[in-house]
Amino acid sequence: MQTMEQSASSGGAGAGVEPVNPPRRPAPWPVQFYRSAVGKKWVMAITGIMLMGFVFGHMVGNLKMYQGAHALNVYGESLRELLYPLLPRTLTLWIIRVGLILAFVFHIHAAASLTLMNRRANAGGYESKRSWQAANTASRSMRFTGIVILAYLIWHLADFTWGWVNPDFVRGDVYRNVQASLTNAIPAAIYVLATLALGVHLFHGAWSLFQSLGLNNPKYNSWRRGFAMGFAGLITIGNLSFPLAVVSGAASDDVCYEEGDRIVTCETVFAEAIEDGRLSIEQYDELGDGERLRIIKAYEANEELRFEEGTS
């Protein structure tokens, strides 16, 4: 009997002892800040500004299309030579690409996290319904337009950068790739729909980023709305002009260089080389990254047309 009591007493004492766990080490301040709703809104705003800058720069660069193939292709090639020879060729471009990828990832993660946080906060249903009714059309469609933009971004890379969905893709010939894609009804329609979705997304994003950063004084609402409408409208009109210009022929002058009153097209440059035997059709089709630009520049400088080893 004593043994059972002693065992019970011993077991009871043992059960009351809890293992001592070391205190959890607090996460770094940036991580703690990002876990909060305010932190996620700041990340959304800052990455949004970065992506808005990219969208604007991308559109302005593409306006080179109106100056002809040579101008657009030289612009495309110049991106690979940013800060060269200070940094290795294409390194700066890759740094920018990695930065944009990180901005996209954080922007999407913050948006998804805020959506989940709002759903949990409004689990009762009444507040969620009222918030839905109070939200404007652009705000309600942010999630939908974001998904459309992400899907189109993958298509855009597969079309213009990797050439997976463009049977006429030629690496290094930006102008030709744009012409080949936007003269096709399906890619052109996809481009237009994605551009409209981007415009709606930009309008709400440009409007709400000020609020996310705490710059939401009501007396500046007209300025905020004007900026949002102006920026979204500028990007939308600029990007929509590209397929319209291609279809209408406004951007179809394949100008390589001008010789007095004579305009020489890029097709003329290569046609002359093929005609006099300096370049075969097979070699023309195999010309790679930057090689077409080198040939065009040689023609501009009235130099003898030369090909790299393996293409002549």
User: How far is 229 from 202, CA to CA, in rounded Å?
Assistant: 9
Phi and psi based region of residue 24 (left: phi greater than 0; alpha: psi -120 to 50; beta: remaining): beta
Q: What is the 3-state secondary structure (H, E, C) of 41-102?
A: HHHHHHHHHHHHHHHHHHHHHHHHHHHCHHHHHHHHHHHHCCCCCCCCCCHHHHHHHHHHHH
Domain end residue (candidates: 224, 248, 272): 248
Q: Are residues 220 and 140 in the same domain?
A: yes
Flag whether 125 is in a domain: no
Q: What is the mean pLDDT of each run of 10 residues along the chain (312 residues)?
A: 52 55 76 87 94 96 86 84 89 95 95 84 55 53 91 94 87 84 91 96 90 81 91 97 86 53 55 68 63 63 52 41
Going from the C-alpha of 252 to that of each of 70, 169, 183, the distances in angstroms are: 12, 17, 11
Cα–Cα distance between 252 and 247 in angstroms, integer? 9
Token pair in block for residue 213: 């950063």
Torsion of CA 165, 167, 168, 174, to 10 degrees: 20
90: left (phi over 0), alpha (psi -120 to 50) or beta: left
Closest to 189 measured CA to CA, from 155, 146, 145, 161: 155
**Owning domain of residue 266:** 255-300
pLDDT at residue 209, as a whole number? 87
Q: What is the model's pLDDT at position 186? A: 92
Residues 150 and 203 in one domain: yes
Same-domain status, 238 and 270: no
Residues 54 and 73 in one domain: yes
The total domain count for the chain is: 2
Q: How many CB atoms lie within 10 A of CB 145?
A: 21
Tokens of 311: 């293409």
Query: What CATH number corresponds to the domain at position 229?
Result: 1.20.1300.10
Q: What phi and psi, each to the nearest 5 degrees, are found at residue 256?
A: -95, -45
Nearby residues of 109 by Cβ (< 8 Å), 6 or more positions away? none
Q: Position of tokens 């990455």?
A: 47
Same-domain check for residues 145 and 261: no
- Give pLDDT, residue 290: 59
DSSP secondary structure of 219-245: GGHHHHHHHHHHHHHHHHHHHHHHHHH
Looking at residue 87, its pLDDT comes to: 92
Q: Based on the fold, state whether residues 107 and 180 are members of the same structural domain.
A: yes
In a domain, 144, yes or no: yes
**DSSP assignments along 115-137, one per residue:** HHHHHHHTTTSHHHHHHHHHS-H
What is the pLDDT at residue 296?
63
- 44 and 153 part of one domain: yes
Judgement on whether residues 261 and 143 belong to the same structural domain of the protein: no
Task: Decide if 74 is inside a domain.
Answer: yes
pLDDT value for 128 = 47
Per-residue pLDDT, 174: 85
Asked if the structure places residue 206 within a domain, the reply is yes
Statement to judge: residues 93 and 186 lie in one domain: yes
pLDDT value, residue 77: 83
One domain for residues 110 and 156:
yes
